[in-house]
């Protein structure tokens, strides 16, 4: 009897696995059509410079609104796009539209674009970035590429050569999600990043636990001494802002300032004299 029950459980498990694999496959084939169906859009989130109280950079964040399911979160569809290689054409679309959108902003503001490691393994990356810059007319100095450490996991000479070639054009690089993953400091030596982005999990934990605070402090100290700018990601509260600022972090991004906005929303945000959240912070900081 126990045996029969076991078999039943197994069948149930198998059926559930099949359903899940089936759902993945259908999402994958829809992803293949999403570009043609114009289901992608871009959102833009400001990164504030605390020295000037103004927007320094705007990060481009991809959105997929599936015709039947509605919004599919990036954490779900980006991995699928990576597995299928679709991230290459999708990433090119993002890059082109981000460069075009940035031309509507004051020339001092840069646009940040996330790049997947898969895009680096594709021989066309350099050509794709060059074409996006040339066709839009955006100066390379206004483009910032965000990459994660995983780019270096399979880094061969070609990947490094591509990074250096882009950098020599004036494009800058930020190491995204720093503190998660492998966080080998040797990556910082093998490639000269302009910026490090502290992952939001540390920013969130830093107000409650001293270990995370110590990590945040160490990252900021190290990055500053290597001449890199530090961006704190996921700043949601005044307390988190005060804390990362006190540690010497000069650029901040998060819901405390603004959620990711559509194109017209970010234009308005840039035009407003200074983020309301920051005014409140400055007043408070002057009090203490």
Binding residues for ligand C2E (CB under 6 A): 45, 61-62, 73-75, 78, 91, 94, 114-116, 146, 176-177, 200, 233-236, 253-255, 260
Contacts of 64 (CB under 8 A, 6+ apart): 31, 34, 39, 40, 71, 72, 74, 77
Among ligand C2E, Mg ion, none, partner that 61 touches (CB below 5 to 8 angstroms by kind):
ligand C2E
Shortest approach of Mg ion to residue 234 CB, angstroms? 8
- Binders of Mg ion among residues 200 to 229 (CB under 5 A) are none
Residue in the block written with tokens 């409140």: 280
3-state secondary structure of 230: strand
> Is the Cβ of residue 8 or residue 269 nearer to ligand C2E in the bound state?
269
What secondary structure does DSSP assign to 238-260, as a single string? Answer: HHHHHHHHHTT--EE-STTT---
Residue nearest to ligand C2E (CB): 254
Shortest approach of ligand C2E to residue 109 CB, angstroms? 18
Residue (of 210, 209, 204, 172) closest to 191 by Cα position: 172
Shortest approach of ligand C2E to residue 16 CB, angstroms? 27
Token pair in block for residue 266: 């970010």
Among ligand C2E, Mg ion, none, partner that 94 touches (CB below 5 to 8 angstroms by kind):
ligand C2E
Does 119 participate in binding Mg ion (rule CB under 5 A)? no
Among ligand C2E, Mg ion, none, partner that 117 touches (CB below 5 to 8 angstroms by kind):
none
213, 233 contact by CB (below 8 A): no
Q: Say which DSSP state 178 is in.
A: E
Helices of type H across 87-156: 87-102, 117-121, 125-136
Q: Where are any strands of DSSP class E within the chain?
A: 40-49, 54-66, 70-72, 110-114, 143-147, 172-178, 195-198, 229-232, 251-252
Residue in the block written with tokens 């779900």: 76
Range in contact with Mg ion (rule: CB under 5 A) among 101-109, 125-133, 138-146, 275-283: 138-146
Q: Which of 91, 136, 177, 230 binds Mg ion (CB under 5 A)?
A: 177
Among ligand C2E, Mg ion, none, partner that 102 touches (CB below 5 to 8 angstroms by kind):
none
What x/- string results for residues 63 through 102 when contact with Mg ion is judged by CB under 5 A? Answer: ----------------------------------------
Among ligand C2E, Mg ion, none, partner that 46 touches (CB below 5 to 8 angstroms by kind):
none
Shortest approach of Mg ion to residue 115 CB, angstroms? 9
> Is the Cβ of residue 30 or residue 146 nearer to Mg ion in the bound state?
146
> Is the Cβ of residue 6 or residue 85 nearer to ligand C2E in the bound state?
85
Q: Which of 56, 102, 110, 114 binds Mg ion (CB under 5 A)?
A: 114
Does 144 participate in binding Mg ion (rule CB under 5 A)? no
HSE on the CB side for 285, CA within 13 Å?
A: 16
| CA 50 to each of CA 11, 85, 95, 188, 279: distance values in angstroms, whole numbers, following the listed order | 58, 38, 27, 24, 11
Among ligand C2E, Mg ion, none, partner that 247 touches (CB below 5 to 8 angstroms by kind):
none
State in Å, rounded, how far the first CA of the chain is from the last one: 72
Burial class (CB in 10 A: 0-12, 13-18, 19+), 223: buried
CB atoms within 10 A of CB 85: 13
Chain positions contacting Mg ion, by CB under 5 A: 114, 146, 176-177, 233
């Amino acid at each position: 009897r126990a045996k029969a029950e076991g078999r039943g459980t197994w069948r149930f498990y198998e059926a559930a696995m099949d359903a899940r694999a089936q759902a993945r496959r259908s999402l994958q084939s829809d992803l293949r059509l999403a570009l043609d169906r114009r289901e992608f859009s871009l959102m833009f989130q400001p990164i504030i410079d605390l020295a000037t109280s103004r927007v320094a950079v705007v990060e481009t964040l991809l959105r997929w609104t599936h015709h039947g399911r509605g919004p599919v979160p990036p954490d779900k569809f980006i991995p699928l796009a990576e597995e299928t290689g679709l991230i290459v054409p999708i990433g090119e679309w993002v890059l082109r539209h981000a460069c075009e959108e940035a031309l509507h902003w004051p020339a001092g503001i840069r646009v940040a674009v996330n790049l997947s490691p898969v895009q680096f393994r594709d021989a066309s990356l350099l050509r794709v970035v060059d074409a996006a810059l040339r066709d839009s007319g955006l100066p390379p100095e206004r483009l910032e590429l965000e990459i994660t450490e995983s780019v270096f996991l399979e880094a061969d000479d070609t990947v490094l050569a591509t990074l250096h070639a882009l950098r020599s054009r004036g494009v800058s690089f930020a190491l995204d999600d720093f503190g998660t993953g492998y966080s080998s400091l040797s990556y910082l030596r093998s490639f000269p990043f302009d910026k490090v982005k502290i992952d939001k999990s540390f920013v969130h934990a830093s107000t409650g636990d001293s270990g995370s605070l110590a990590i945040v402090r160490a990252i900021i100290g190290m990055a500053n001494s290597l001449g890199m700018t530090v961006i704190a990601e996921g700043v949601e509260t005044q307390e988190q802002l005060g804390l990362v600022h006190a540690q010497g972090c000069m650029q901040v991004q998060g819901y405390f300032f603004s959620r990711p906005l559509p194109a017209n929303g970010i234009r308005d945000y840039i035009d407003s004299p200074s983020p309301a959240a920051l005014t409140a912070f400055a007043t408070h900081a002057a009090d203490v």
